[in-house]
Amino acid sequence: MKDFGLMIVDKPVGPTSHHIVGMVRKGTGIRKVGHAGTLDPRASGVLVLCLGAATRLSEYLSGTSKEYEALVRFGVSTRTFDTDGEVTHRSNKSPTRREIDEILPSFRGEIEQRPPPFSAVKVRGRKAYELARAGDEPDLEPRRVQIHRLEIHSYTPPDLALLVECSAGTYIRSLAQDLGERLGTGAHLAGLRRTRAGPFRLEESTPMPMLEVGMLTGKWDRYVRPAADALPDVPAVLVEADGVEALRFGHRIPAAPGSPSQAKAVDSEGELVAILDLIDGSMWHPRKVFLS
């Protein structure tokens, strides 16, 4: 059974990302399982899981861009910026399509965004949602995020379906809240589906019921992808057995002339061995090794 690699899961609405991690850990028997970017319980779609030593790739995956299908509902604002929270404002009004078209450009590119009060952002050493649940309204500092793409898929008032491509750390709930504020109607996020996380798209993901059957029948490893897939834009360097052993112990190995500044070392079976940095134009130094 493969205990090193990636699982690209189509998370359903309902369970938390942590719950999915726990299910996979129990169902596969792999002790070390992590995710590379959380999804809210009410969101569905691409959840990237890292198995075994591949958990060390999460820092590379969690910072990648994401794509979403988002449903913004106008006329009602809530405390959590989504359907779970208590209503804080109700106008029962929806903007016109023209009004939406006029303001959308200002939400594209680099924008300043304040995280929702019910989020995992740390405030005074505690998560914001812990303070919010205790009745304290955390004062969250705005952050700069990138909205690479923001397009209207459909609009049937009060529901606006958007296609969003954004940087890591962007809160789609805050985007919905800010749209409602700018248009004077109020709004909240009524639905969210992640269609891409970094290089992994929804059509490549495994529906949770299929994965559950795989874990029950002991055939879950068919859904494990090579860890090297996490770094599609990093050049691969094939390393022979003696080089693999050298990297295992943190030793440098020779680099071919004209090598790039960084590469991923793979063995003869295509398994990820290490992430390499070029030193003095002639030697590969293992930045991160994935061998035990």
Catalytically active residues are 40
Question: What is the crossing angle of helices 17-28 and 208-217, to 10°?
Answer: 20
81: tokens are 């910026």
Which residues does residue 13 pair with via DSSP β-bridges, in sequence order? Answer: none
**Amino acid letter for position 62:** S
CB atoms within 10 A of CB 61: 21
Question: What sign has the CA pseudo-torsion 73, 76, 81, 87?
Answer: negative
Q: Which residue from 292, 261, 291, 257 is spatially nearest to 276, judged by alpha carbons?
A: 261
Any idea what DSSP says for residue 28? H
Q: Which residue from 63, 89, 262 is spatially nearest to 188, judged by alpha carbons?
A: 89
Confirm if 112 and 167 have CB atoms less than 8 A apart: no
DSSP 55-106: GGGHHHHTTS-EEEEEEEEETEEETTSBTTSPEEEE------HHHHHHHGGG
Q: Which residue from 153, 167, 213, 191 is spatially nearest to 45, judged by alpha carbons?
A: 191
CA-CA distance, 72 to 82, in Å (whole number)?
A: 9
